[in-house]
Amino acid sequence: MTGAGRTSAEAGSRDASPAGASRVAIFGGSFNPPHVAHVLAVVYALTVAPIDEVLIVPVFQHPFAKELMSFDDRLAMCEAAMSWIPRTRISVVERDLGGDSLTLRTLTRLSQDHPDWRMRLLVGADVLADLPKWHRFDKIAEIAPPIVLGRAGVTTDAAPVPVLPKVSSTEVREALGRGDYEAVRPLLPARVLAYIEEHGLYRKT
């Protein structure tokens, strides 16, 4: 399943709240590309956290000006990686908002569109060091109190016990750039790697 060919009406339908679901974890990120730690984060959160579903939100444009693959490609890869997981959906809200993706703006839009939702923000412990750079994190935490998942290699005092493996997106992209698909095979969902190979993403040689 890919998102690149969908109409905006079809894409927007994925943001509709299913009946009875109100405790929603918002899992945002570049997903450039989505890797196994992202998949495990969703499954783990659904297993242990007090939530009904996870809404996966790929950023449209990185606020720190990081270079990303196209939104359509990252959306398609997110769907390949995680659309099979029950109680999980992929959102295009940040594409609809346009411009730099800011968590506060996204959460505000989602709370307006879904006033029945009680939102949580699902993050890995690796982002804890970046929180001071986030726009109005105090307000973000008020709207959607964070659920922080520990990650191997993150040893700050605020980090929970690791439950996620250490996977470097930068190292994954570097290996893909060399065409070294074997190096990333254990780190990427098989359908994501197949999409990358088919479309020649990240290749530099």
Q: Which of 59, 143, 145 is nearest to 104 (CA)?
A: 143
pLDDT > 70 in the chain, percent: 88
pLDDT tens column, 32-59: 999 999 999 999 999 999 999 999 999 9
Distance of alpha carbon 49 from the chain centroid: 17
DSSP state of 85: S
Architecture of the domain delimited by 21-199: 3-Layer(aba) Sandwich (3.40)
Asked if the model's pLDDT at residue 144 lies above 90, the reply is yes
Start-end of H helices in 83-178: 93-97, 103-113, 137-143, 169-177
Q: Does residue 23 or residue 19 have the better pLDDT?
A: 23
pLDDT tens column, 161-192: 999 999 999 999 999 999 999 999 999 999 99
Each as own residue / partner, the long-range contacts of residues 8-11 (CB below 8 Å, 24 or more positions apart, any chain) are 11/92, 11/95
Distance of alpha carbon 60 from the chain centroid: 11
Q: How far apart are CA 98 and CA 193, in angstroms?
A: 27
Q: What is the mean pLDDT of the chain?
A: 87
pLDDT reported for residue 205? 65
- Reported as half-sphere exposure (CB side, CA atoms, 13 A), residue 80 has a value of 23
Contact 156, 128 (CB under 8 A): yes
Q: How far apart are CA 119 and CA 108, in angstroms?
A: 11
173 CB contacts (<8 Å, ≥6 apart)?
A: 32, 33, 202
Q: Crossing angle of helices 36-48/71-82, nearest 10°?
A: 50
Point out which residues pair with 150 in neighbouring strands: 162
pTM, full prediction: 0.86
Over residues 125-131, the mean pLDDT reads: 82
